[in-house]
Amino acid sequence: ITFQTIIITNIKTHTIMKNQMRTRTLKNKTARGGKMLKMDDNVYALRRKVMDELYNIKRRGYNIPRIEVRIVSENTDACAYAYLGKNIIHFNKKYINVKRFTQVVLHEIVHATFGIGEVVGCRLMHCTEFWKNDCSESEAWELFDKYYQESKA
């Protein structure tokens, strides 16, 4: 073992540990005025609904990583949000039963998994226009597939 090998190993170890710490600090951190809800039967049922959508994505043949799902209080100023590329999503309790729930989940998965932010003009990923866009479920799946394929390239 040379001195140079030790330095390179220490740099790699430090980088890995730093990235793990960053993810660990995000895991239970909320944003947008939200407060993480404590797990009980009601919160578990809400979380289960999101998880069912994630399993549906996997059943359709998409190989997505494990996504951490958190349910936050109604006073959050967004229906859902994700940390870009960190595989963590937060859903506002109030928006779990909305008409376009599948579209919301797909939207957040694109943020969390593929690390893509707002895409102006995209009916699925134009965040500020999401509710006005009225993106159908079939169109949402087509757009999700596009982002999935781009992430694999």
pLDDT at 81: 85
User: Between 132 and 32, where is the model more confident?
Assistant: 132
pLDDT at 152: 84
Joined together, the tokens standing for residue 53 give 């959508």
Say whether pTM exceeds 0.75: yes
Q: pLDDT by residue (tens digit) across 8-54?
A: 444 444 444 444 554 555 555 666 566 777 888 998 999 999 999 99
DSSP state of 36: B
Confidence of residue 75 (pLDDT cuts 50, 70, 90): confident
Mean pLDDT across 141-152 = 94
Q: What is the signed CA dihedral for 35, 90, 77, 97, rounded to 10 degrees?
A: -110
The residue written with tokens 């430090």 in the block is 14
Asked if residue 147 lies in contact with residue 114, where contact means CB atoms within 8 angstroms, the answer is: yes
Strand-by-strand arrangement of the 88-92 sheet = 68-72, 88-92, 80-83
